[in-house]
Amino acid sequence: MHIIEPEQSSIADSRVSAMHDRDPIHTMLYDSKGMLLSANKAAMSAFHIDTPGGQEEADRAYAEAMHAVFTAQVDCHRHSQPFSRKKDGKVRWAMLEMWPMLDPVSQSPAVLVKTSNITQMKLLELELAGRQDSLQRHNDELEQDSVAMQAEARKLQREANSLARRLEAIMHDKLKARTSFDEPTIDKTLGDTCRNAIHGRAQDVQEAVDLYNMLSDSDTNLRQPIGMASQLLQEGMDSDVARSMLQLLQGNELRKSQPDAAETVPQEAAVPAAQLASWKTVAHMDWREPAEEQANVGDVASTSQPAIAAAESLTVIPAPVTPAVERMLQDASTNWQFDIFALADATPGYTLSLLTFHVMKQSGLVQEYSLDESKLQAFLRQIERGYDPSIPYHNSIHVASVVQITHMLLTRGGVMKSNAMTRSQQLATYISAVVHDFQHGGVNNDFLIKTFHPLAMLYNDISPLENHHLASAAMVLHHPDHVFFPVSRPPTHAYYHAYLVLVERVSAEQVGAMRAVSIAQVLGTDMKKHFDITSRFQMLLKCADIGHLAAAPALHQRWAYQLEEEFFRQGDQERVLGLPVSPLMDRNLRGGMTKSQVGFFSIVGIPQFKAMTDLFEDANQMLEGVLENYHRWEAAAAAAGL
């Protein structure tokens, strides 16, 4: 501010008089340039030019005041500021009130300023603000308590719902009208008989006779419910569904009641050439498949043929991974109902290899066992090439889904947390998941057996698909370019064990044990062995293999109808070959999917996932998803009058 000397007494008196008329206390008059024109005695004695906020604050306050008074022309502009008393250094507050007026001398715009002590008011404001802050903090604490209580209520509700669903699953097993799968199994009956004898309890003679007759049958499956065939074929279940379930779970026994294959299959069609060409036996497997041998993308695949062809030409996983794909991969590690189709659209042709490599890296297995990342990627890419994208269901996207669910069960379902598996068994389980349908041809074991397919011949009609998946994948792993375990010398094709002299992290014994785990797991995916699944290793992969039963309803329905289309294609082949069309595989008879799903959930799905959650409670969310989809199929069947 610039202070000018008082002018002539008449001018000064004129200004003092005008100021006094407005307000006699602490009053100063400034022109529009900020120059002091006049001030009364009290104002002059209290005036000081220092500003507590410094020059920058003073400039800001000055600019704000000039704009308000001379540009905006407000009636009164107020500015409060603290200052320290010289005597005691205590902070005081002053209020500067500014009114526009005309200089009585020059008649130019001026501003009249009055200073008031508002310290008491400020102290009250600060006290009130403190109380408001205290109340706000208290209110925030109450809101946090409320949120915590609501979260606890939701948690309790989820637990109640979970218990209700588990109870429902138990009631489904215990109180439903008895079918074949409510009957005791033969091994349980035998065990009860032995316990009764040990404890000296009386044994019913008829039960002993029945047990003897059952055991006398050389083909009796001890873990299969007693009288399964007769129970399934009784009234209460659609005949096509019953026959389909029998074929699924008891294929060899069901074929005994059917005409001989020689009477049914035309001689010239017994081994169709087209079908032979689509399968590769282990002995003739080629490591580097020519591009022309790769299967084309069918109408089921969502990605383009050029994109898949480009991905298949790679021996390593494409890089870099985009942020969007990275987010999907992170979601796959935590989401029980992950959308695998979205990831497949974003990673055409390399979804399986990318996801499997991601979960193996994330789990720390790659580092822990010093796995060769380049060879691991090459192995995964070669395995992915073995899945035909034109097959509606048993394709690489299905297998990627199985890998993702396997990872969830291991890391989020309580399997690893409970120490139910060792780290080497975890590694073996990932490999089992990625190879469990390797080179699947889109038809089931029954088709291979009744058409005398070379795979059925090779494996003596015993799980030809699953044996082929394992054997052919093992041959891929044995190739020098794909042995991702650290080895001390290059492999030889003559004897696998000759080059399994592993160094540092993995012993030959561990590799043998991991191979045993994979064999048990993959062979356990054969539905004919459903009742033989006893180990948690087999149960885990089996749950993952049918994991779409627990998927979000839209995803589950998509998988169900893709599986139905694969069934229809097998039925088409059976019709061309002059074979009886398998139950639920005749595309001319619609509605079978809705009917069969209720039966499949009741007989296979719900008991399987209930057994899993009985062992690992953290996997209960999958059982909840299964029950939700089961109720939807029940409602659909009821609405359709099925």
Q: And the tokens for 622?
A: 């999958």
CB 529 within 8 A of CB 523: yes
99 beta partners = 112
Query: Is the omega angle on the peptide bond into residue 320 within 30 degrees of 0, that is, cis?
Result: yes
Nearest to 380 by CA among 405, 355, 397: 355
CB 28 within 8 A of CB 43: yes
CB 637 within 8 A of CB 594: yes
Encoded amino acid at 76, one letter: C
Cα-atom radius of gyration of the chain, to the nearest Å?
A: 41
Q: And the tokens for 278?
A: 């689509």
Strands lying side by side in the sheet with 109-117: 2-3, 35-39, 27-31, 109-117, 91-102, 77-84
Instruction: Please indicate whether residue 358 is annotated as part of the active site.
Output: no
What is the C-alpha separation between 556 and 634, in angstroms, rounded?
15
Q: How far, CA to CA in Å, does 372 sit from each of 157, 376, 504? A: 47, 6, 13
Encoded amino acid at 190, one letter: L
What is the C-alpha separation between 15 and 105, in angstroms, rounded?
7
Strands 2-3 and 27-31: unpaired
Q: How far, CA to CA in Å, does 546 sit from each of 220, 527, 551, 605? A: 26, 11, 10, 8
- What are the backbone dihedrals phi and psi of residue 109, each rounded to the nearest 5 degrees, phi first? -60, 140
Catalytic residue among 26, 394, 398, 407: 394
Nearest to 600 by CA among 612, 608, 588: 608
If you search the block for the tokens 């590799």, which residue do you land on?
A: 511
Q: How far, CA to CA in Å, does 565 sit from each of 394, 423, 443? A: 11, 38, 11
Encoded amino acid at 410, one letter: L
Q: And the tokens for 482?
A: 């794909």
Positive/negative CA dihedral, 34, 40, 41, 46: negative
What is the C-alpha separation between 51 and 184, in angstroms, rounded?
93
> How many residues does the structure list for the chain?
642
DSSP run (H or E) holding 36: strand 35-39
Q: And the tokens for 171?
A: 């009631």
Question: Known catalytic residues?
Answer: 394
